[in-house]
Amino acid sequence: LIDSDTDVGLLVAYIYQVWRRKSSAMDAVTHKLIFSPQLRVPTAREIWEDGSLTAAAILGLLTIVVLRYVRSPWRKVPPSPWRLPIIGNTLHLMDKSWLLSSNCKQRFGEVMYLDAAGQPTIVFNSLKSAFDLLERRASNYSDRPRLVMAQEILSNGLVFALMNYGERWRRLRRAAHEALSKKALRNYHPIQTKEATILVSSLLMPSASLYPDKQFQRFAASTIMSILYDHPTMVSEHDETLKMIEEYTLRLSHSAAPGSNLVDIFPWMMHIPERFAKWKREGGRQFHEDYAMFRGLINRVRVDMANGGNRPSFSASLIQNPERNKLSEPEMSFLVGLMHAAGAETTATTLNWWTFAMIAYPEKQRKAQAELDAVVGRDRLPTFADAPCLPYLSAVIKETLRWRPVVRFGAPHAATEDDWYEGLFIPKGAICIPNTWNCSHDRAVFGEDADEFRPERHLDEHGKLLSGPLETNQAGHVTFGFGRRICVGKDLALDSLFISDGTDTVGDNPGACLITRPAPYDCVVRRRFTGMESILEEERERLEI
Ligand code: HEM
């Protein structure tokens, strides 16, 4: 009979009454509630007039409150900084440099709790905690938090990366996974090789900017557009299609940023009729425009295929398997469109950090060049076939991704059910954010020199690339996220990074930065040996650039 805090409270009140042997009214209450629901419940007036009954009621209520407090799992949420009324820890969440500081981890530990205006939020500050939950208990941590503006209004629920964990996400993930499988990726190697040749040529041009970011942006955007839509190589960043897609990417990332829309803080605003909410009308109009753009791009591939074109592309592989993928037209259009948003900027910024690392650690640059000279020689450009023989270069890429992860905080996951981790309570619906920076600089995993750029940490004593835990999420690939929501374009990104590495770079180190992209730095790109131009020229002719 006694199976809740209320029952215990009632029992305490009843015992008190029996002890006082006074009130028959209290007997009536307990009898009614526990034994015989037909009995009459005393009125509030009767309780009020019977002094000892009032005392019993207060005692019962106090018992319930104390029990609820003592037993509440919320007392066991992870350590948390002080909170302000109403907004809770919102200011802490917005202070990214504080979240990234070692002070934050030292004070609040590996798993930290923040209350974002009533929304429970968990930050994972160590690789172990992020891995234990987001990866090992992935079935409970693969959902995404609700983003009303970015997902519901601007995208009609179609942004795959923001989708709730469920049937639709699974269907889209399977389709994306197949179109980006290792086998499918081989089809894109010629595109990546061609783009890498253009990149190296443009970096070596005397007019090239001192800060190579523009070239990296063009390379990444053009590569991904060719892979997605078989789009012709983009010679400049002023390409019209590219501009439209980049505007979409910007809109999506702005609208998904925390605190940028009132409707995300007060989701009830979603019920305001459109005629009173301009933001809703504008969002709906924008959705239709974006859909028309993405649909138009896919239709171009369809027309090309109907005319006998058989060049591989991400869109073509989705179009070819309509039965298997079971994707509707809007699902397909937004899935392909998202791939650009997710893959272009991330790849370009990683290349920028790679250049920065080569400048800051010239001895590592020399080592990678020595490996290239030994394996590839000086009379041709490296190819994908060389990759297995270039472990040091692969380690350099892994280390770049670890040392300066382009996304300092991984995409937020959400807990589907209440959970316990090492005695700490993680409530259902909590937003779970991996602090990628802290995870990839975790001294418990990477040692005391975690802040150093040291590609050797990914190699064994014979210079071979380590497999096992290092090959999985435990090291270089933390930057790609965790569990079932891990980046679906990871292998494609690694291929693009591999084929575009390997130029000679010197310059000034502006010091470590906290922001995602390095601050502009001076950099000179120069050829390492004579004859380089003619090799590039031959390659350009072969690839018909
Ligand atoms: C260096 C390059 C890249 C980095 C650092 C990166 C990083 C990430 C991260 C951190 C996530 C979130 C994972 C999580 O929720 O735990 C993610 C998800 C995703 N990435 Fe990437 N990414 C890169 C390149 C790419 C490329 C080239 C593509 C597409 C061709 C891509 C497509 C996606 C998609 C679609 C998702 C959403 C997955 C889902 O929610 O199920 N990414 N990426």
Our answer on whether the CB atom of 481 is closer than 6 Å to any ligand 1 atom is yes
What tokens does 414 get?
């959400």
The pLDDT score that the predictor gives to residue 25 is: 59
Distance of CA 17 to the CA centre of its chain: 58
Alpha carbons within 13 angstroms on the beta-carbon side of residue 15 total 9
Quote the radius of gyration of the chain (alpha carbons, Å): 30
The pLDDT score that the predictor gives to residue 478 is: 83
The pLDDT score that the predictor gives to residue 465 is: 86
The answer to whether 91 and 84 are in contact (CB under 8 A) is yes
Our answer on whether the CB atom of 480 is closer than 6 Å to any ligand 1 atom is yes
- What residue type is 426 in one-letter code? I
The pLDDT score that the predictor gives to residue 66 is: 94
Paired residues of 433 in beta bridges: 123
| Residue to probe by mutation, ligand 1, list 349, 480, 491, most atoms within 8 Å of CB | 480
Our answer on whether the CB atom of 313 is closer than 6 Å to any ligand 1 atom is no
Our answer on whether the CB atom of 407 is closer than 6 Å to any ligand 1 atom is yes
Our answer on whether the CB atom of 344 is closer than 6 Å to any ligand 1 atom is no
- The pLDDT tens digits for 247-290 are 999 899 888 877 778 888 888 999 999 999 999 999 999 999 99
Our answer on whether the CB atom of 485 is closer than 6 Å to any ligand 1 atom is yes
What is the residue with the minimal CA distance to atom 16 of ligand 1? 481
Hey, is 122 helix, strand or coil?
strand
The answer to whether 129 and 482 are in contact (CB under 8 A) is no
Tell me which DSSP letter residue 416 carries.
Answer: S
- Rounded to whole angstroms, the Cα distance separating 66 from 504 reads 68
Report residues of the chain scoring pLDDT below 50. Answer: 469-476, 507-515
Ligand 1 atom closest to residue 482's alpha carbon, by position in its atom list: 16
Cα 410 to ligand 1 centroid, rounded to whole Å: 9
The three state secondary structure string of 370-397 is HHHHHHCCCCCCCCHHHHHHCHHHHHHH
What is the residue with the minimal CA distance to atom 30 of ligand 1? 489
What is the residue with the minimal CA distance to atom 3 of ligand 1? 346
Other CB atoms within 10 Å distance of the CB of residue 439: 28
- The pLDDT tens digits for 53-73 are 788 888 889 999 999 999 899
Other CB atoms within 10 Å distance of the CB of residue 177: 11
What tokens does 496 get?
């693009």
Our answer on whether the CB atom of 351 is closer than 6 Å to any ligand 1 atom is no
CA angle in degrees (0–180, nearest 5) for 397-454-375: 55
The pLDDT score that the predictor gives to residue 390 is: 95
Our answer on whether the CB atom of 346 is closer than 6 Å to any ligand 1 atom is yes
Q: How many residues does the chain have?
A: 545
The answer to whether 185 and 294 are in contact (CB under 8 A) is no
The pLDDT score that the predictor gives to residue 265 is: 80
Strands (E) in 378-444, as ranges, are 413-414, 419-421, 424-426, 431-434
Cα 276 to ligand 1 centroid, rounded to whole Å: 37
Our answer on whether the CB atom of 412 is closer than 6 Å to any ligand 1 atom is no
- Rounded to whole angstroms, the Cα distance separating 313 from 218 reads 19
ipTM of this predicted structure: 0.98
Alpha carbons within 13 angstroms on the beta-carbon side of residue 371 total 21
Ligand 1 atom closest to residue 492's alpha carbon, by position in its atom list: 27
Hey, is 507 helix, strand or coil?
strand
